[in-house]
Amino acid sequence: MALAILSSGGDAAGMNPAIKKFVDYVYKMGEEPYLIYEGFEGLIDNKIKKALHRDVAGIVHLGGTIIRSSRSKRFLEYRYRKIAYDNLKGHGITGLVVLGGDGSFRGMEQFSSEFDLGFVGIPSTIDNDIYGTEYCLGVDTALNVIRDAIDKIRDTASSFNRAFLVEVMGRNCGYLAIVSAMVSGAEVCVVPEMAFPFEREGKRLRQEVEQGRSYVLAVVSEGSHQTRKVHQWIQETIGLETRVSILGHIQRGGNPSVRDRMMAFRFVIEAVDALLEGTQCCAMVGYNGGAFRMLSINEVAGNTYVLPQELRDVVALLD
């Protein structure tokens, strides 16, 4: 049996450990592993190569993905999906592991419904916003990158009577912002899922500044679209000169953390086993409560991730 792996959408630390484990484990199970380069675009252009151990040697510590990734508009059209399927069929590939997010899985849901192909998705996005799993590959590494940056910014903030605003990624999900604010000791956290009480927080922080607070640290999720508003609010309401740091794509890079490497290994084993057993033709590996389980891609694609209440409560505790 021939199985292949590809990366789709944004890269995330943990993809390379997953790719290495995929090749090693598929060989261990007596099957043939293939690598698909450049995501769905590479699937259409037949950038498919049988993998050897040497192709994945020494990549566990690398960020990003050695097989590269893409966002494919062509894959939205049936004629290109047919070409992609014919390419897989030409290599004898009957099962596919996809490292990606909900957009990638929706594309594969369509693909699998049209052709005889087994597919298992591994949630891989620093946004941590995929329904059915409490953890996605890349999240822990991203959080450590953010934590390190904020710790350094705080060193400067504490040396001046200033406020510092740090914008973090996360698309429309506030997970990164909330966890980062909590572990960095931030006074302000603004996320898309919750209205921020500007008046109440302004009163609290003005009192603290009057009582001797010398700086304020704010973490704002990009999906809230309120970075400029929070910046102006701190300066005008709190009365502190404010600097803005937009961390940007450094949050996707860096050496995968220990947890991301371990989770990559375990996600891959679950995915490959499901394909070899043939019990799941179109599914995603989810991780909840310390356990892995398979979810139908219909369930994943048909629902929206909701920020857990315990994380919403964390924002209130920052007050």
Examine the residue annotation and report whether 11 is marked as an active-site residue of this protein. Answer: no
318 token code pair: 């920052």
Contact 58, 254 (CB under 8 A): no
User: How far apart, in Å, are the Cα atoms of 73 and each of 39, 170, 197, 224, 264?
Assistant: 12, 23, 40, 27, 28
User: How far apart, in Å, are the Cα atoms of 199 and each of 120, 212, 230?
Assistant: 47, 20, 12
- Residues near 269 by beta carbon (within 8 Å), at least 6 away in sequence: 21, 25
Return the ∠ at Cα 135 (arms to 129 and 140), rounded to 5°.
100
CB atoms within 10 A of CB 237: 15
Q: Which residues of 159-192 are buried (b: 16+ CB within 10 A; e: fewer)?
A: eeebbbbbbbbbbbbbbbbbbbbbebebbbbbbb
Pairing of strands 93-100, 2-7: parallel
Contact 182, 315 (CB under 8 A): no
Find the DSSP H helices in 29-174. Answer: 39-44, 78-90, 102-114, 139-157
Of 127, 129, 140, 260, which residue is the catalytic one?
Answer: 127
What is the rounded distance in angstroms from the CA atom of residue 209 to the CA atom of residue 68?
48
**Catalytic sites, residue numbers:** 127
